[in-house]
Amino acid sequence: MDNFININQLNASELKDLISNSFDFQKKFYKNNVDQFSNKNVIFLFLEPSTRTKTSFKIACSILGINVIDVSSENSSMVKGESIENTLSTLNSYPVDGIVIRSANHMDFEKAKEILNYPIINAGSGINSHPTQALSDLKTLNEKFEDFKELKMSIVGDLLHSRVASSFIEGFGKYGQKTNLFSPPFFKPKKLNLEMVNFYEDFEDCLKNSDVIMALRIQKERLNDLNVDFDEYASKYQINKKILDEYNIKYLMHPGPVNEGIEISHGLQNSEKSLINDQVKNGVWVRCAILDKILREQE
């Protein structure tokens, strides 16, 4: 595998192997038994903010013995006006083994594929894809459910701007499963692949058909001209303890960061049914698995 840009690059068995390897990395780490790389260098080019993804990639690199060169946008020469093309050409001059990129513009990944001579790992591409988040979400589910055959998994909220939802749907589909979706009309995606999803127009219908709910962040930075009344949204669509109990929903997920008090109620992140912190924790192990796969295949 040269690059990891989309979940759909993987077939079902490759995806399941990655998840299985992520469990192995977790076990090996606590037994002090991780087979580390020597002399590997990976650049981080984060052109959008990140807490979870960047931190877990950093920890994964530390566990694997990979040296990180962090080119964050606010400290790079892009601030002085250097183009993305010239930035990538500059970074291509270094003897490194891979690059982890996050960008609001999915075309930056196309440019990176053209310019760079080393593997690219997608850490969040615009509203299109966030494949390592999907890996983390699938591992988190796999910790609770041995298989996903009977699992009613629903994603609710700002589907229009969610790269997390797109990648999760692809990943869950590899297990032969459809993802249930609900959004209010203003967050309904323009296109829906009905072979992969069941879209509910009614919130309650979706809740009734959910073992696990993943609430999505309202992506305030991507709303542009869309006026959303956040109080009204919270009053109609917020996930809270009463909803989880009333509809017998076993677990709550959310990729983070959470707009607390809007898409989920205050305190719910750290409540009994929440897997949100597990999603964060598992980010480390799945990123160990993908970095290990890509770098070993280059050797």
**Contacts to ligand CP by CB under 6 A:** 50-53, 124, 133, 255-257
Sheet holding 98-103, edge to edge: 66-70, 40-46, 98-103, 120-125
Is the CB of 51 or the CB of 86 nearer to ligand CP?
51
Locus of tokens 């299109």: 128
Is the CB of 124 or the CB of 173 nearer to ligand CP?
124
Q: CB of residue 244 vs ligand CP: minimum separation in angstroms? A: 21
Q: CB of residue 222 vs ligand CP: minimum separation in angstroms? A: 13
Q: CB of residue 186 vs ligand CP: minimum separation in angstroms? A: 22
> Residues 207, 243: contact at Cβ < 8 Å?
yes
Is the CB of 19 or the CB of 165 nearer to ligand CP?
165
Query: CB pairs under 8 A, 24+ apart, for 260-264?
Result: 261/234, 262/218, 262/230, 262/233, 262/234, 262/238, 263/157, 263/158, 263/215, 263/216, 263/217, 263/218, 263/233, 263/234, 263/237, 263/238, 263/239, 264/215, 264/238, 264/239, 264/240
Q: CB of residue 133 vs ligand CP: minimum separation in angstroms? A: 5
Q: CB of residue 82 vs ligand CP: minimum separation in angstroms? A: 24
Q: CB of residue 208 vs ligand CP: minimum separation in angstroms? A: 27
Burial of 124 (0-12, 13-18, 19+ CB in 10 A): buried
Is the CB of 50 or the CB of 198 nearer to ligand CP?
50
Distance CA 286, CA 135 (A): 6
Q: CB of residue 26 vs ligand CP: minimum separation in angstroms? A: 19
Is the CB of 55 or the CB of 193 nearer to ligand CP?
55
Distances (CA, A) of 60 to 29, 52, 66, 104, 284: 10, 12, 8, 23, 5
List all residues 6 or more positions away from 149 whose beta carbon is below 8 Å from its beta carbon: 176, 177
**Tokens describing residue 230:** 């956040």
Q: CB of residue 35 vs ligand CP: minimum separation in angstroms? A: 27
Locus of tokens 């068995």: 13
Is the CB of 207 or the CB of 263 nearer to ligand CP?
263
> Residues 180, 152: contact at Cβ < 8 Å?
yes
> Residues 129, 187: contact at Cβ < 8 Å?
no
- Element spanning 200, H or E: strand 197-200
Identify the bridge partners of residue 125 per DSSP, sorted by sequence position: 103, 129
Q: In 3-state terms, what secondary structure has residue 261?
A: coil
Is the CB of 9 or the CB of 50 nearer to ligand CP?
50
Is the CB of 207 or the CB of 283 nearer to ligand CP?
283
